[in-house]
Amino acid sequence: NYALIFQGDAWAQNIREINKYTTCIPKLLQWLPNFHSNVHVAVFEYIPGVPLKKLYSYPGKQFDTGHPDVITGKLAPYWGNIDSVPYEHIIKVKSIIERLYYNLYEASQLADLTGYQQLDNEPDWEGRWLPPHSKMVWHIDDWSLQNIIEAEDGEYRAVKLDRAVVCDINNATVRLMADLRNQTNIRWKSKNQIIKKLQ
């Protein structure tokens, strides 16, 4: 898989570092920082498996008013497709997602993260990504059920890396909840439900 990304050398170094402590994200196999000005190519190993979207959901629609672009006035509310997880599966799916999130959090505390993402394409969000303290975590910026797979070894992995950031735990948790709220019927009452389990 080739991902055209804008994050730069710090992003690649953080991937190398985080992969020492977790199998949640694919291993970085190659890094070509001089491919083009401000555009780089990262090559990742292919991990065969079945997305949670196919295993535990069925398609539906909702009137989407919670997307960040809607909230900031950049986009009007719209009907969007969502992946509705049936009641009998929702506890298991939430548990899988939480386990991946905890895994990334624990790996982040062990890794030597060298910096945060410079948002060239979203400068108005830059202030929100800057961590207010030293506790920084690795965060995948799209927790779609399509991006979480059950691999052939029976483990679950988050595999989409074209958008990934280093930010503070509050920001990361809010974004995790927002991604799943916008795309599925999965809800948490508050970010504190998740953060308490991390402490």
As a whole number of Å, the end-to-end CA separation of the chain is 35
* pLDDT the model gives residue 2: 47
Alpha carbon separation from 76 to 64, 67, 70, 73 (Å, rounded): 9, 10, 6, 7
43 pairs with which residues across the strands? 2, 30
* pLDDT the model gives residue 169: 85
* pLDDT the model gives residue 65: 75
* pLDDT the model gives residue 1: 43
Residue for token pair 């049936």:
86
pLDDT per residue, tens digit, the chain (199 aa), is: 445 555 667 777 888 899 999 988 888 877 766 666 666 677 788 889 999 999 999 877 667 777 777 788 887 877 666 788 999 999 999 999 999 999 999 999 999 887 666 555 555 555 555 555 567 788 887 899 999 999 999 999 998 776 777 888 888 898 899 889 888 889 998 999 899 888 7
* pLDDT the model gives residue 188: 92
Phi-psi region of 190 (alpha: psi -120 to 50; beta: other; left: phi over 0): beta
Please state the three-class secondary structure of 33-86 as a single string. Answer: EEEECCEEEEEECCCCEEEHHHHHCEEEEEEECCCHHHHCCCCCCEEEEEEECC
Q: Angle, nearest 10°, between helix axes 87-110 and 9-18?
A: 110
Alpha carbon separation from 79 to 113, 150, 172, 181, 193 (Å, rounded): 38, 29, 26, 14, 29
Pull the structure tokens for residue 46. 């292919």
What gap in Å lies between CA 106 and CA 112, rounded to an integer? 12
Contact (CB, 8 A) for 136 and 172? no
pTM (2 decimals)? Answer: 0.81
Phi-psi region of 70 (alpha: psi -120 to 50; beta: other; left: phi over 0): alpha
Instruction: State which H helix or E strand residue 140 sits in.
Output: strand 136-140
